[in-house]
Chains A and B, each alone.
Chain A
Amino acid sequence: MPFFGNLLKFLGIRKGEANILVVGLDNSGKTTILNAFKSPENKSEEIVPTVGFNVEKFKMDKISFTAFDMSGQGRYRNLWEHYYKNIQGIIFVIDSSDSLRLVVAKEELDLMLKSEEIESKPNIPVLIFANKMDLVESMSSVKISQGLGLASMKNRPWHIQASNALTGEGLHEGIQWLSEQLLQQNK
């Protein structure tokens, strides 16, 4: 049975379902992004800092996503690794206005990608949301991709997408890329 299960896991998405991990530093807008995907009647009115994690489900582009929305606060980041197993995609959210902590974000991203579970699966796509693009002091997505050193990530599909979670701008485009990647792998 385990063998059979693993085989399924390797096949990735089954019946158009995908598990994705949503990570990033605290206050970058992970929960808000996921909230934007929910149907209007299910939307939360106010977003509070996540303690631990939340599970959210949403459907987009023929794929049902199960998103593990991880808490970004420093003391909870080491818990991310418990959820690396059995995921098909990663969404990494950056607060574009927080240039000061871009290095911290880079460190966390690198740490995650170097972990055994993720590194061994180069087909897991990474979608980076350069969130809060509406703010005046926000950096451009190019600048952020430079800051994160994304250019050096050659063996893994990645995409950076400027977004505004409050208005929903850029979110759909980002997910669209992710869906394409996942469907492609499934072929």
Chain B
Amino acid sequence: MKMYQKREKKDDEDAAGSNPFSKLQKTAVLQEARVFNETPVNARKCALILTKILYLINQGETLSTQEATDAFFNMTKLFQSKDTTLRRLVYIGIKELSKLAENVYVVTSSLTTDMNAKEDQCRPSAIRTLTTITDVTTFQGIERYMKQAIVDKNAAVASAALVSSLHMAKLIPDGIKRWVNEAQEAVNSDNVMVQHHALGLLYHIRKSDRLAVSKLVTKYIRSGLKSPYAVCMLIRIASKLIEDEDSGTDSPYFDFIDSCLRHKLEMVVYEAANAIVNLKCTSQRELTPAVSVLQLFLSSPKPTLRFAAVRTLNKVAMTHPNAVTACNVDLENLITDANRSIATLAITTLLKTGSESSVERLMKQISSFMSEISDEFKIVVVGATRQLCQKFPRKHNVMMVFLSNMLREEGGYEYKKSIVDTIINIIDDNPEAKEAGLAYLCEFIEDCEHVGLAVRILHLLGKEGPRTSRPSKYIRFIYNRLILENAPIRAAAVSSLAKFGAHCEDLLHNILVLLERSCLDTDDEVRDRATYYLNVLKLRQKSLHNQCILNPLQVSLVGLEKALQQYILEPSVTPFDMKSVPLATQVDKVEERPKKPMVNGLTNEALPNQVSKAPAEKIAATRQDIYAEQLAAIPEFVALKLGPILKSSLPIELTESETEYVVQCVKHIFKRHIVLQFDCTNTLNDQILENVRVSMQVPDGFEEVCTIVCPRLNYNIPAPTYTCLEIVNDDTSMITGTCENILLKYIVKDCDPNTGQLLDEDGYDDEYALEDVDILVADYMQRILKPNFGTAWEEIDSEHEVEETYALSSFKAIDEAIKNVIGFMGMQPCERSEKVPEGKSSHTLYLAGVFRGTDEVLVRAKLAVNTSNFESGVTMKMSVRCRNPEVATFIALKRDYKEITNNPIPNIYAKPLDNNILEWHFAMRGAQQTPYENGLYHGRIEFPVDFPFKPPSFYMLTPNGRFKCNTKICLNTSNYHPEAWNPSWSVASLLIGLYSFMNDDEPTWGSLRSSKEERMQLALMSWAYNLQDPIFVSLFPELAQECKRKISMICSSKMIKT
């Protein structure tokens, strides 16, 4: 004993001023723990040892299972001591060791005794400890005590039991559900905390059943809750319910949340305001009261309230910037707030909502205390800057300087990454900012400790650098990396250098010297790359440069692996054909929108047999591979020898989303076949569909070869049925069309909604009409990315070029037109040409794609906004280059038709005959302030088979006084002068030409000379004349109706005159 005391004293001396536990040894402490076995227990001594053990565990010391179990059982002996402090330490010890030791359930009875003890001191802690050691096997033993504890008079005990139940619900969800009555009773407690916790448990128990939750919310909205915490929780549950049910702001739950804005406690008011601004369905009107409440909080003396309000407003500023502008004055006041977090959020919020003029002032303000805030907030600032750049591209100078200053300062990886991301984004969006941005990034990699960032920047330099005004200035920065950095960065630098060499003739010589030096590098990868690039560049062949350096391979990696495997398995003399490998699908972020949640709250992930699209971007790259696997598993398709999938379209909804059956169609394009995959979902729980198949009217040029029937469609489990079409006509002009009269056919059998058991063996046949499916040009087109479009363009001879001009009159702005053109063509925009710099009235779009898996198609489209003409809209001059001229022509004519019907030229209507695409009919209204003003003229265009290489011919059918009827009209553009024909003229431009030519009086072949009066007379008569033509009436039914109206008007006006 004396010895012990002495040692303790010494320990105390050591401890003076320093951590008494700093020199603890695990084994020594565990040895000491044997003291626990002594009787009687020395509470103080044991408490000290226990503290040591806990200290060690919290310092990250790891105990083996054996050590932990020994220590645990030693500790259980301490239950004989009645000392409260020691007992509480034992509880903590049990909690800590329960995850490490075995057989921890041994203390179950001891803890249940404690939780039912007469003194309240230890009861809550005993309950909490008990839950950490309870598993499925011991659960039943404690259930009764937990139920009692939940409704205990002592609030601390009840709260502990409720919260512990929530924790246990993770492990034993079904067991906890049996406690619903107790939880309900506890909600009626007078104690604020108990009520809050009880509501939480009750919600947790019912949360999977939406109906039960809505009942719960309705009940407590009506009866009212005393506890503000519980009200806050109710607000959260209610707002979740609104989102789930999509019920919008008319729902009674919203009224409740709204009424909470007038609650007497700030906490509840804030919660309600936060819920309202976070709801997706709120409009400006509902938002205003919530925002004004937050505005009030902004000037609160309590910093927490100010912080909460400014943080929420910051979030709202993204979605509803206008709503937040009202708070600008209050936000301005917070810029100088003593709390830096509040100030940062205030500034970033202002940046989001502020006007262009205030940007500079705010940036200055924020840079003054940038060094005082944490990385986390710096990232918030960077994020705000990025948004600002998108909003005010002209301010990029200020932003760039600001960002580069931040880049120079100390900061963690996440922070630096967000800055680099932002700069790259600005460069992407704004070509003017490119050179400055690249310069800052160059400066950054001079002293950059993050390998990933440096590699990324080097890649960017390789891509963008060669095309700047002075590429040579970047070489120095890249070469420095080659000398100073580690292997991955050096390798990236070599690739980057090679791109400069391939692109800039004048630098090639110097680059070769630099690459030669890298051939002596110590790292294999660097040497390999340098040798490869050196040899390619030495040959000085432009096309080789393009293939090997500038435009790399674009195949799907999974597909390449499969194809190579296949090739090795079947020995053959022919070399491996790269063309047989499916191309990598370009991830299109615009189209790949997140899927709508399925009906009845079931999400896609929960359903088997359908491609889960949860992480949209990740899956998209391999989506096609998944489809390919699914299709390959069907023997009928294997027998058809379909070959690899060229392209799978995105799912098209063929039904409204809330109907009995939901059907989506995916078009899989093969070399000679098209497989239509219909994913059907049965949303009626009292029906089972059997023998589900799709019938349709197949368009010309196709033949239905087989149908794969879906044998059984259970409730809410989607299953596919397939229809395979063969492309029978080799003529490329026949490969598009519309599948009409699509019917889903099936046998309906009634079943029990709960068990899914069949009630009716026979069932009856039924069908369900679906929307039409179009097979479009875009379906055949695979997107490929040409990192260097210019060189790829030059590679294809200009003689394979077809030019077209279009009036896209339905689009007012270029970017809108571009989006539609890309969508229609199904091609990949290159060189970021899909982004239009602000304020430009003309723009060039580069598109690349592969048609039917073989023909590479490049498109250069120059778009300009029509400002000179009285008609507004966008004009597009499009050049198509493709080694296969047939393909280029096909795209031209087909798209023409589309263009004119979709975007009508004012006053001109044109349609081909249903049975002959080469004969078009048009109708044009007479131009204002000409003799033809009151007329409608019908005519005919005949296209030669080799259009657009030969011109079409025009015929006027309605008597007009300008042209002879049914006689070829001589236009520069018509086939009367084939030598003057230019293939780039489109049907639209030809018709516009004819239209203006009619208004002139210039004589030509087929023209007539008649008086103005005569022409006016003919104009009035034209309506009746047209009605006599059956082709006119059938092609233009709307116009025929108009004719009838017009005739009656003309008649009545004549009557008045006479």
Contact = CB atoms under 8 A, between A and B. Distances in A.
B109 A52 contact: yes
A49 B141 CA distance: 8
Interface string A151-166: 0000000000000000
A54 interface: yes
A52 B34 CA distance: 20
- Give the one of A9, A48, A52, A57 with max B CB within 10 A: A52
- Give the one of B34, B35, B76 with max A CB within 10 A: B76
Contacts of A86: 37-39, 77
B141 A4 contact: no
Interface SS, B side: helix
A66 B109 contact: no
Contacts of A2: 34
B1034 interface: no
Contact of A50 (B35, B37, B77, B109): B109
Interface in A1-57: 1-2, 4-5, 8-9, 14, 17, 19, 48-55, 57
Interface in A121-136: none
Interface in B1-20: 1, 3-4
A33 to B, nearest CB: 15
A58 to B, nearest CB: 12
B1 A4 contact: yes
Contacts of A57: 80
A76 B104 CA distance: 11
A17 B108 contact: no
A52 B73 contact: no
Q: Assign chain A's interface to a size class.
A: 20 to 34
Q: Assign chain B's interface to a size class.
A: 20 to 34
Given A4-B4, A52-B107, A55-B80, 14 more contacts: A4-B3, A5-B35, A17-B40, A50-B109, A51-B105, A51-B108, A51-B112, A52-B108, A55-B110, A66-B80, A71-B106, A79-B106, A82-B76, A83-B73
Contacts of A8: 38
Interface string B785-797: 0000000000000
A65 to B, nearest CB: 11
Contacts of B105: 51-52
Nearest to B108: A51
Contacts of A59: none
Nearest to B81: A55
Interface of A: 1-2, 4-5, 8-9, 14, 17, 19, 48-55, 57, 66, 71, 76, 79, 82-83, 85-86
Contacts of B73: 82-83
Contacts of B106: 51-53, 71, 76, 79, 82
B39 A51 contact: no
Interface in B898-934: none
B103 interface: yes
Contact of B3 (A1, A9, A49): A1
Contacts of A50: 109
Nearest to A49: B141
B725 to A, nearest CB: 66
B79 interface: yes
Contacts of A17: 39-40
A1 B39 contact: no
B1 A1 contact: yes
Interface string B83-110: 0000000000000000000010111111
Nearest to B40: A17
A109 B39 CA distance: 25
A54 B103 contact: no
13 contacts: A4-B1, A19-B39, A50-B109, A51-B105, A51-B108, A52-B107, A54-B113, A57-B80, A66-B80, A82-B73, A85-B37, A86-B38, A86-B77
A109 B112 CA distance: 28
Interface in B57-73: 73
A76 B77 CA distance: 16
A54 B115 CA distance: 13
A66 B107 CA distance: 16
A95 B466 CA distance: 94
A5 B38 contact: yes
B397 interface: no
Given A1-B1, A1-B4, A4-B1, A51 B35 contact: no
A14 B113 CA distance: 28
Contacts of A53: 76, 106-107, 109-110
B283 interface: no
Contact of A71 (B3, B4, B109): B109
Interface string B102-138: 0101111110110000000000000000000000001
Interface in B545-573: none
The 5 closest A-B pairs by CB, nearest first: A52-B106, A51-B108, A82-B73, A86-B37, A55-B79
A172 B3 CA distance: 42
B116 to A, nearest CB: 9
Contacts of B79: 55
